Amino acid sequence: MKSTLLRQVARASATPVRAPTFTAATRVPFSQTEKTATHLPHARNFSNGAILKEKAPKDDADHNKHDEYSTSGKPGAFEHEGQHSRTDNRIKVEYPEEDNLPASKPVQGRGGFHFKRTLASFSLEGRVGVVTGGARGLGLVMSQALVVSGADVAIVDLNKDEAARQAEELMKHFREENPGAENIPKVTAHYADVSSPESVNAAIAEIVADHGKIDNLVTSAGFTENFDAIQYPFDRMQKLWGVNVNGTYLFAIGVAKHLMERKAPGSVVFIGSMSGSIVNVPQPQAPYNAAKAAVRHLASSLAVEWAHAGIRVNCISPGYMLTALTKKILDDNPELANKWTSLIPQGKMGRPEDLMGAVTFLCSDASGYVTGADLRVDGGYTVT
Query: What average pLDDT does the structure give for the chain?
Result: 84
- Of all residues in the chain, the percent with pLDDT exceeding 90 is 62
Assess whether pLDDT exceeds 90 at residue 355: yes
Instruction: State mean pLDDT over 233-250.
Output: 97
Of the candidates 189, 305, 311, 200, the one whose C-alpha atom is nearest the C-alpha of residue 246 is 200
Of the candidates 382, 360, 263, the one whose C-alpha atom is nearest the C-alpha of residue 314 is 360
Instruction: State mean pLDDT over 124-142.
Output: 96
User: Contact, 241 vs 287, CB < 8 A?
Assistant: yes
- 83-92, 114-123, 158-167: which has the minimum mean pLDDT? 83-92
**Could you give the CA distance from residue 59 to residue 159 in angstroms, rounded to a whole number?**
69
Question: Taking the model in full, what pTM does it have?
Answer: 0.76
**Could you give the CA distance from residue 136 to residue 170 in angstroms, rounded to a whole number?**
12
Say what the pLDDT of residue 15 is.
Answer: 46
Say what the pLDDT of residue 71 is.
Answer: 62
- Distance between alpha carbon 188 and the CA centroid of its chain, in Å? 28
Instruction: State mean pLDDT over 263-272.
Output: 98
Q: So which residues are the catalytic ones? A: 273, 288, 292
Q: Helices (DSSP H) in the chain: which residue ranges?
A: 2-14, 30-36, 50-55, 60-67, 137-148, 160-177, 197-211, 234-241, 247-262, 286-306, 324-332, 335-342, 356-363
- Tens-digit pLDDT profile for residues 166-221: 999 999 999 988 888 888 999 999 999 999 999 999 999 999 999 999 999 999 99
**Could you give the CA distance from residue 95 to residue 126 in angstroms, rounded to a whole number?**
37
User: Contact, 42 vs 36, CB < 8 A?
Assistant: no
